[in-house]
Structure 1
């Protein structure tokens, strides 16, 4: 039985001092006790880890390559997408594994113990299948085996180039699946993830309303009852206009009227919703999968956070394009975007919880649900997904209770994170992943091979 002792820890019942957490050999929390003398592995501040609920790992390798002015009058998400399509056409399975390993390592060092991978890069250039249709899924799982991160793999069903059912374009052919192909792909992904251990699993991801048929959506969402269902929803105004023209309803309206959305669902972005749509969706118990850094990068818009919160909505955080992998930056970017929009401060704070506490608690709840993982608190029976944070620094020294989280989120950085455990696996120590040098070396070799093609 491994033991972790913390000067202070955030427990389900609140803040506690001198906390001892016992972890089983299988990686679950066996017991939690406050007021205990130090023993075992020591840390200063112990927090439950938030799951990263939305990632496209391969996009990490194109970070910084889309900031020049293009040939259009205005650069948008849609011009960025063309760059992404050109980039991914060069990636091999070896490249994808190397990039995914770097992404997962950076997630762990940023305090995420779980990677929920929204995985749609399935096939060869031009769309031909690999001999094993789940080859690329196996590479994501292989990366997780190397990094030790908890993995929820979401194979993506991607049928069409638009809501009118048009064929996939040249940049999309590596994503394409019909319903039968997707079922086989899902089975292969499950087999790959099963090798990682019991804390990893799969879900399903119909890409978006514009990329799957009504029938395809219904089929996919019923393939694995009780497991997570993720869908891109209402990210961009042109997307809203396309769904409205094709179905006669806005995306969120149509989804709520035509699918049994519940707590198993995670709707990614949802930045283009009316107040009525926001309230209706919040009341389903579904999680809003927010990616504030990427949404800022792509100019998606600002999530309707205040109305969502007032309606009792749940949310979590994802690094999406992985242009910058930083948990604390995701949290503060969400709050700061709302402050800029509303010209106020402490927008998401409540009468009894500070802003940092609200942001962190939301991520714990929403991330655990989105990952389909027994995590999100320092409580016996859950996976030991834990983050050790330094208090002996100019940001955290002297802070107590919720101001610890406020200081961590709004004045801190990833360098304050010293230790991370994923299902009890102590993968980050003294701020660095145990296999950092080899993972970075492999990634640099990959980028060197790709550089001329990019």
Structure 2
């Protein structure tokens, strides 16, 4: 390898956040495929080598509905009756009926560029907008999914694509409503989608599956899906987000949603249980023991009035969690983590909740735990600066007043809990720089296409 190639695939950091914590004078090397190949400690910078002061692993956004980015902020108008998740959902359904494949790509590209600029380097896309506006399957069944994947490729974000099984409107296999017609899929439809996407799998793209919820997919269907899906693929599901859902599950099945799913014997470490907001103490313990990841989406759960996840009890039971932006009321991992902690403080009227016997720095604990949960939920080698993992990392602006001259052990606390400026300067994914000085490399082009798309949608 020439010196030029060597420097093109390396970066020197005065402080890098390795699996054992902040480490001084680190050089990262990656190969042509974008995987980290060597981590040098006690290194010295080379002339002409890219350099950073504060470098840390990028975060996984473990739960995203990309098309909902286009309606962020548009549902904050009071209706004639008491507003809830369910009235918001009706508005979202009406909106979803009009989006074309080209529009979903424009919306997703805008979202992913924003996520990258704020420190996410990969996303798990919970994708259920499959059919055309009339409810017919496209000639290419993967049409919509491939446009979302194209947006990820354009922006450079890593992706886990999760085609969603969505067969019913409610428990007891209630038929889908007409405004749900674009979501309709059977087990065979999902397996066909996975097959269509198989050749696109790469170090940047994994393909799993997602039963939407126990309202929308039966346990029999979920079992059939798992038996046919390749054994190493991630599985995600919405569960216990709202008490109306919990109560309806009890009426239909005699058990609560998490209890019902865990009792099926299907849940293991491949699973991400998204939201899981309303749990009994026994469900908390059982969910932690299953090895599944809790997918916590704090800003969406706050926006929709879902409630608070019982984080302290879950952590005490050894539970794993990650974060997602879901409906994209926010696209900042800092905001998700900040409000995860603040929500617990408000609920318990205490401080410094997310901690462990080994990590007393709240920012460090949250970032480390969410990295690990996101890695597991994505099914990809991401979330840590270690050999064989993706060269996905974030460089912070060490000149910003929140960080300049700050002892390194306080950096994550300051980043997460002090102010609202975006402190991300540069972002690399798979060794490729996608954000420089706070701007995405295709920011202007992506934004122009998005604005044209939104002008069309707002005329509806």
* TM-score range normalised by the length of the shorter chain: over 0.9
Please give the alpha-carbon distance, in whole angstroms, between the structure 2 residues aligned to 1:17 and 1:426: 22
The more displaced of 113-122 and 13-22 is 13-22
The aligned counterpart of 1:340 is: 346
**Pick aligned residue for 1:419 from 426, 436, 442:** 426
**Pick aligned residue for 2:125 from 117, 121, 127:** 117
Please give the alpha-carbon distance, in whole angstroms, between the structure 1 residues aligned to 2:383 and 2:309: 23
Structure 2 matches for 1:100-179, cutoff 5 A?
100-179=108-187
The question of whether the paired residues in 1 share the 8 Å contact of 2:390 and 2:430 is answered with yes
The aligned counterpart of 2:69 is: 60
Pair 1:259–1:199, CA change in 2 (3 A): same
SS at the partner of 1:409? Answer: helix
Residue 185 in 1 paired to residue 190 in 2? no
Residue 213 in 1 paired to residue 222 in 2? no
The more displaced of 413-422 and 372-381 is 413-422
Structure 1 stretches of 4+ with a deviation exceeding 6 A read none
Residue 70 in 1 paired to residue 75 in 2? no
The question of whether the paired residues in 2 share the 8 Å contact of 1:153 and 1:189 is answered with no
The aligned counterpart of 1:8 is: 15
Give the Å deviation of 1:3. Answer: 1.1
The aligned counterpart of 2:447 is: 440
RMSD: 1.2
**Pick aligned residue for 2:249 from 238, 243, 246:** 243
**Pick aligned residue for 2:236 from 230, 241, 258:** 230
Please give the alpha-carbon distance, in whole angstroms, between the structure 1 residues aligned to 2:151 and 2:407: 38
Please give the alpha-carbon distance, in whole angstroms, between the structure 2 residues aligned to 1:227 and 1:114: 16
Give the Å deviation of 1:13. Answer: 2.2
The aligned counterpart of 2:3 is: none
The question of whether the paired residues in 2 share the 8 Å contact of 1:7 and 1:44 is answered with yes
Please give the alpha-carbon distance, in whole angstroms, between the structure 2 residues aligned to 1:285 and 1:402: 30
Residue 374 in 1 paired to residue 381 in 2? yes
TM-score, normalised via structure 2 length: 0.96
Give the Å deviation of 1:414. Answer: 5.7
> What runs of 5+ residues in structure 1 fail to find an aligned partner?
none
The aligned counterpart of 1:34 is: 41
SS at the partner of 1:154? Answer: strand
Q: Deviations over 1:46-104 (max 9, x none)?
A: 101111100000000001110111121x1000000001011111111110010011111
Please give the alpha-carbon distance, in whole angstroms, between the structure 2 residues aligned to 1:271 and 1:50: 22
SS at the partner of 1:174? Answer: helix
Q: Deviations over 1:178-227 (max 9, x none)?
A: 22222212212334x33xx3331111100000101121111122312111
Give the Å deviation of 1:245. Answer: 0.7
Q: Deviations over 1:20-68 (max 9, x none)?
A: 1111111011111122222321111010111110000000000111011
